[in-house]
Amino acid sequence: MLGCHYRQDEAVPVSEGKIVFDRIAVLPFQQIVPEDPRGDAVRCPICGTIFSAERAVGSPEKVIEARFLEQLAKRKPNFSVLAGEKVAEVYRRVSAASLQTPPLQILRDVGSELGADAVVIGYVYRFRERIGEAFSVEKPASVAFEIHLIRVEDGVTVWRDAFDRTQSSLMEDLLSATSWKWVTAEELAAGGLGQVLKTFPGLP
């Protein structure tokens, strides 16, 4: 995304050698919001990493999930992707019947029922829209999300990456000054997904 630099956690593969899956289920992405209205810190339900979060208007988790699937398809993955309403229905049913079950076990149970080798889950922590226009803003867009790829067999996170970015001003972004503009939250998220997917296993 022009005009933006990205700060990312490094991907975290936990097994050596090439990671190969035949079927990956993309579970519904979720928005994680602070329980305390006076605070903004939240923890990832899977790995415990702390992020600065805000409650967003609308359903940003659906926006980022759709963009993720769109970009994944464009890269012609070396595995089949299970996604959509069938996956969402299984996830809702298993979650509702497993209120006391740890989140990781729920993900494994869903993947197992779907016949998937691995599951993808995404957490959206911040999706703040810019206030203003492309060349003049009162407040820039700000986005934070995290994506995990979890092996169903043993619950191991074989890959993880995160994106946490608030667009900087032109003076802080001189490398792209010739084509610089203030982007929307969705544009910022799309650029972040493009960076994150560069390390996703099984993509050519």
24-43 pLDDT tens trace: 999 999 999 988 777 789 99
Q: How far apart are CA 68 and CA 32, in angstroms?
A: 18
- Percentage of residues of the chain with pLDDT beyond 70: 83
Cα atoms in the Cβ-side hemisphere of radius 13 Å centred on 96: 6
pLDDT in tens, 107-163: 999 999 999 999 999 999 999 998 887 667 688 899 999 999 999 999 999 999 999
SS3 192: helix
Q: How far from 113 is each of 123, 142, 154, 158, CA to CA, in Å?
A: 22, 36, 15, 20
Burial of 127 (0-12, 13-18, 19+ CB in 10 A): buried
**pLDDT bucket at 168, cuts 50 / 70 / 90:** confident
> What's the whole-number average pLDDT of the chain?
86
Per-residue pLDDT, 169: 60
CATH code of domain 8-199: 3.40.50.10610
Q: Where are the domains of the chain?
A: 8-199
Per-residue pLDDT, 2: 33
pLDDT higher at 126 or 182:
126
Q: Over 60: is that where the pLDDT of 170 sits? A: no
Per-residue pLDDT, 180: 65
Per-residue pLDDT, 13: 45
Per-residue pLDDT, 131: 85
Q: How far apart are CA 53 and CA 124, in angstroms?
A: 8
